[in-house]
Structures are given as structure tokens and as C-alpha cells.
Amino acid sequence: MQNHVLFLFSAIILLGTSCNGAPDDTPKTVEVTGIITMKDKPVSGASVVFMPESGPSAIGITDASGSYALKTGKAIGATPGQHVVTITSGGETPMPGTEEAKSDKTKPEVPVDYGDPKKSGLTANVKASGNNKFDFKLN
């Protein structure tokens, strides 16, 4: 009888420790902020994406002052390490040949090459500790 009680107690302990869920697979992140400017003016509503060599990307949207703060999923910040950075801004793509196509209002504020990881030329080395503020002055 004592062996059955000991077995039952051990099984309850084992079951309790294994039901805590899967290990935390949320990546370690650190706070990353910065300011995006274009021709010395803040860029509002731009998407800023930090793409690490491996792991999930981090994204932020600039406010009216051009400031952004990154998030990786629900976590604040980006994973430490080297990142390729892309920046895109709004703007609609109108039907070619229309009056809208000729208007500057429909053109993206940021040139499209900054949105291409192979052409942006933008990088950032996110440190595991310390200041991770990356300002980008676009042409």
C-alpha cells in the first residue's frame, strides 16, 4: 500500500511539473528606437523593419516626429545582433497615365529602394545591452 501511495504522489508531482506549458520560445529582445528623416524632415507613418541574420524580424511605425520603437511580435524591441534595415512609407499606386499618377500626393515619401533588403544599404548592430538608438537620414 505504501508503494502505491508513493507512486501516486510521484505521478502527481511529475504531472504538475510537466503541465506548466511549453518552454518560453519568445526571443530575447532589447529596446530599439530611433528617428527617420528624409531631406532633414521627419518621416511620418513609415514602416521600419529590422531583419536579423536569423530569427524573427522587428517592426515599428514612425510618428509625426519621425520617431519609432520596435516590437518583435508582442515583445518590445529587437533581437541582439546584426540586422538589415528596410524603411517604407505609404502612398498609393494609381493607374498609370491618370492624373493621380502625376500627382506627388500618391508617391511614397521614401524611395522604394529603401524598402528592398538588397538595395536599402541600411544596417544596424543591435547590442545586448546599452543604448540601441538608430537614426536614419534618408536622401
pTM of the entire predicted model: 0.73
Which pLDDT belongs to residue 44?
93
pLDDT in tens, 28-59: 999 999 999 999 999 999 999 999 999 999 99
Give how far Cα 34 sits from Cα of 65, 67, 137, Å.
10, 6, 11
Question: pLDDT digit string (tens) for 89-136?
Answer: 975 555 667 776 566 555 568 999 999 999 999 999 999 999 999 999
